[in-house]
């Protein structure tokens, strides 16, 4: 009996020795291999893109207009960028303080203890959406899901999560204050816009004859531009009722193009429609269809590209932040011209001078025609993405599939931007000079953003 007890004791001690030896061996392995056993939140391009999509979904439900959507994307993307910039200092990241207009110095905002950077960045993105979007409160659920994922899946300690949240909230608080001073709040207090009476001036269009959208957007503080009119486009073709005038030729081109659209042209027009609220009318019944904005489409493209290139989490954050800033300034520049030229829409001219029953293929949006917003924004973002990707980047765009429009493939970002621009002619909502001059305007803005942000 005594011998049996001794044997049991021996094997128990042997098991403990083996266990300790194994743990020591693993510790030495991780030490020499440079790997850390510390829990961390695993994030990549797909994770960031899915998180950004949650903000896009809220904007679709809120029927967020194109200008406001671009503004939200810009501010939301700045929060995770600022966190990674301050704490990790990635090589390709440019300092924002001193580059963006009135941007706050965040260097004094420091975490009290160690944080998880990926978790903090994703948390800050959702928090910015909560603070800025009208229905941002709906992002509380995905934010809590993020916290639970950090705890349960990645075993991050409560203390690290608490410190990460506190630091992210400090950054968000300062950026929300920064956003509050850009002039957006004031736009709702200005006098309502009254359409001009001069021949060739913009007028509300069917079916809803909605009042002008964001007539004071030019008054917002840009992120990079020296002023809203820094990249003022070439003058539009002067309005004329003469049948031999250049303006009538532009009008006739829109009229003739829409009458004989091919299936491919219809697909292109629908693919780039990006009208946040399409009003359907069937008899005496009207109902709306919600879709993404032009900014939402290009944010979607940015996410697809980041995933296709298998970019790191840090690079994905950078791409989205730079795209947001660029397209926000592009909208300010474009809307500055829209309400300066205050040009009439093709549908109005055609109804008055050629065919009273004619309707554009796409629903005409409620703001002046010149320049084409999608042309300006698409060209600006495509110019930036071409620089970021190194050019010649082919991809398939599935952004519109969820809205019932089949995917399309492109040889490059500039190919996509050109198609987005010409889609406005196929849709019957823009004249050719607004498209072509809008693209030049956008390219200038994109190149300026590349220079100011020192994009590598």
Structural domains of the chain ordered from first start: 45-183 (no CATH), 223-452 (1.10.606.20)
Give pLDDT, residue 25.
Answer: 42
Q: Which of 15-24, 50-59, 303-312 has the lowest mean pLDDT?
A: 15-24
Q: Which of 132-136, 228-232, 349-353, 391-395 has the lowest mean pLDDT?
A: 391-395
Tens-digit pLDDT profile for residues 154-188: 999 999 999 999 999 999 999 999 999 999 999 98
CB atoms within 10 A of CB 404: 9
Give pLDDT, residue 20.
Answer: 38
Give pLDDT, residue 29.
Answer: 38
How long, in residues, is the chain?
A: 456
Percent of the chain with pLDDT over 90: 85
pLDDT, averaged across the chain:
92
Q: SS in 3 state form for the chain?
A: CHHHHHHHHHHHHHHHHHHHHHHHHHHHHHHHHCCCCCCCCCCCHHHHHHHHHHHHHHHHHHCCCHHHHHHHHHHHHHHHHHHHHHHCCCCCCCCCECCECCCCCCCCCCCCCCCCHHHHHHHHHHHHHHHHCCCHHHHHHHHHHHHHHHHHCCCCCHHHHHHHHHHHHHHHHHHHHHHHCCCHHHHCCCCCCCCCCCCCECCCCCCCCCCCCCCCHHHCCCCCCCCCCCCCCCCCCCCCCCCCCHHHHHHHHHHHHHHCCCHHHHHHHHHCCCCCEEEEEECCEEEEEECCCHHHHHHHHHHHHHHHCCCCHHHHHHHHHHHHHHHHHHHHHHHHHHHHHCECCHHHHHHHHCCCCCCCCCCCCCCCCCCCHHHHHHHHHHHHHHHHHCCCCCEEECCCHHHCCCCEEECCHHHHHHHHHHHHHHCCCCCHHHHHHHHHHHHHHHHHHHHHCCCC
Phi first, then psi: give them for residue 397, nearest 5 degrees: -95, 115
Average pLDDT rounded to a whole number, residues 85-105: 96
Query: Is residue 13 pLDDT above 60, yes or no?
Result: no
Give pLDDT, residue 281.
Answer: 59
Average pLDDT rounded to a whole number, residues 243-255: 98
Which is more confidently placed, 287 or 69?
A: 69
**In this structure, what token pair is assigned to residue 245?**
């005038």
Give pLDDT, residue 392.
Answer: 86
Give pLDDT, residue 133.
Answer: 98
Q: With 0-12 CB in 10 A as exposed, 13-18 as middle and 19+ as buried, what is 199?
A: exposed
Contact 350, 251 (CB under 8 A): yes
Which is more confidently placed, 289 or 443?
A: 443
Which is more confidently placed, 2 or 356?
A: 356
Task: Give residue 1's pLDDT band: very low, low, confident or very high (50, 70, 90).
Answer: very low
Give pLDDT, residue 191.
Answer: 87
Give pLDDT, residue 283.
Answer: 56
Percent of the chain with pLDDT over 70: 89
Query: Is residue 40 pLDDT above 60, yes or no?
Result: yes
Query: Is residue 23 pLDDT above 60, yes or no?
Result: no
Q: Which of 26-30, 91-95, 142-146, 192-196 has the lowest mean pLDDT?
A: 26-30
Query: Is residue 32 pLDDT above 80, yes or no?
Result: no
Q: Which residues contact 247 (CB under 8 A, 6 or more apart)?
A: 237, 238, 239, 240
Task: Give residue 276's pLDDT band: very low, low, confident or very high (50, 70, 90).
Answer: confident
């Amino acid at each position: 009996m005594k011998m049996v007890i001794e044997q049991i004791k021996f094997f128990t001690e042997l098991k403990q020795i083996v266990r300790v030896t194994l743990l020591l061996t693993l510790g030495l392995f991780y030490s020499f291999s440079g790997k850390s056993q510390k829990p961390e939140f695993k994030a990549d391009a797909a994770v960031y893109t899915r998180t950004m999509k949650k903000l896009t979904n809220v904007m679709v439900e809120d029927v967020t207009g194109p200008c406001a959507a671009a503004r939200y994307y810009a501010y939301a993307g700045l929060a995770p960028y600022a966190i990674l910039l301050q704490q990790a200092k990635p090589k390709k990241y440019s300092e924002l303080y001193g580059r963006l207009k009135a941007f706050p110095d965040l260097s004094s905002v420091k975490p009290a203890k160690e944080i998880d950077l990926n978790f903090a960045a994703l948390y800050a993105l959702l928090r910015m959406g909560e603070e800025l979007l009208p229905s941002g409160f709906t992002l509380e659920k995905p934010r809590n899901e993020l916290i639970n994922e950090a705890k349960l899946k990645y075993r991050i300690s409560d203390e690290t999560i608490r410190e990460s949240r506190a630091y992210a909230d400090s950054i968000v608080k300062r950026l929300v204050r920064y956003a509050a001073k850009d002039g957006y709040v004031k736009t709702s207090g200005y006098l309502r816009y009254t359409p001009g009476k001069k021949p060739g001036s913009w007028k509300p269009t069917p079916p809803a004859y909605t009042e002008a959208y964001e007539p004071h957007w030019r008054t917002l503080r840009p992120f990079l531009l020296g002023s809203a009119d820094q990249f003022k486009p070439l003058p539009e073709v002067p309005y004329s009722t003469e049948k031999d005038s250049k303006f009538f030729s532009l009008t006739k081109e829109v009229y003739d193009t829409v009458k004989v659209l091919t299936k491919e042209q219809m697909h292109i027009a629908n693919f780039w429609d990006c009208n946040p609220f399409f009003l359907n009318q069937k008899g005496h019944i009207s109902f709306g269809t919600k879709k993404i904005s032009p900014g939402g489409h290009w944010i979607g493209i940015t996410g697809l590209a980041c995933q296709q290139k298998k970019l790191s989490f840090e690079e994905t954050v950078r791409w989205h932040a730079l795209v947001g800033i660029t397209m926000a300034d592009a909208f300010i520049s474009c809307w500055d011209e829209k309400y300066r030229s205050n040009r009439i829409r093709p549908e109005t001219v055609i109804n008055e001078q050629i065919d009273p029953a004619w309707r554009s293929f796409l629903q005409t949006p409620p703001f002046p025609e010149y320049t084409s917003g999608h042309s300006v924004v698409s060209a600006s973002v495509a110019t930036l993405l071409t620089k970021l990707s190194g050019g010649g980047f082919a991809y398939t765009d599935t952004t519109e599939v969820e809205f019932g429009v089949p995917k399309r493939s492109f040889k490059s970002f500039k190919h996509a931007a050109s198609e987005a621009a010409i889609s406005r002619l196929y849709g019957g909502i823009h004249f050719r000079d607004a498209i072509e001059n809008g693209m030049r305007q956008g390219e200038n803005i994109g190149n300026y953003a590349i220079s100011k942000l020192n994009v590598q």
